[in-house]
Amino acid sequence: MNTENLKSDTDAEFDLPRFFPYLVRVYYRAVSESVSAVYASLYNLTVSEWRTMAVLGPYCALSASEIVERSSMDKVNVSRAIKGLRNAGFLKRDIDGDDRRRAVLRLTESGIDVFHSLTPKVSEVEQQLLEGLSEKERQTLIYLMEKVQQNAERLK
């Protein structure tokens, strides 16, 4: 059977390299790999572990579900990140002082040191990624990304 005859007109018009969801994925991978090269090479952190550290920062104490809410990661990735960070000695689990039933997570002294070591390095990568864009172009990029995100949220 000749499959060429089965293609519709819309199939011929579909251009994957220009398909917006595909491009977002390509951009995400390029950006993510650029940043992850820093924390993976220096501290052997995964993307999820770094993102968890970044959400917590040096002063924040959050539950695992709060990390999920603030990180754009799912429960499984957050759970793995927590386990990896605890095993590395970068994260500790405490009982909330106000609600004894609630466990909170915070960076250890070592985790805070790693966080402070990495933030200028990942910020430098961010600057390199945005190199050549004017401040107005950067603001426009953020504005357009937020607009697309809002559109995507409405489609859920």
In the structure, what pLDDT confidence band is assigned to residue 6 with cuts at 50, 70 and 90? low
Residue 12 has pLDDT above 90, yes or no: no
Could you tell me if 55 and 82 are in contact, meaning their C-beta atoms sit under 8 angstroms apart? Answer: no
- The CATH number that applies at residue 62 is 1.10.10.10
Give 22-47 pLDDT, tens digit per residue.
Answer: 999 999 999 999 999 999 999 999 99
Overall domain count for the chain: 1
In-domain check, residue 5: no
The residue range of the domain holding 135 is: 15-155
Determine the number of helices (DSSP H) and then strands (DSSP E) in the chain. Answer: 7, 2
In-domain check, residue 123: yes
In-domain check, residue 34: yes
In-domain check, residue 132: yes
Give 63-111 pLDDT, tens digit per residue.
Answer: 999 999 999 899 999 999 999 999 999 999 988 767 767 789 999 999 9
Residue 80, pLDDT score: 97
What average pLDDT does range 48-55 have in this prediction? 96
With a CB cutoff of 8 Å and minimum separation 6, the contacts of 68 are: 74, 75, 78
Residue 4, pLDDT score: 56
What average pLDDT does range 146-151 have in this prediction? 96
Least confidently predicted of 3-7, 27-31, 124-128: 3-7
In-domain check, residue 119: yes
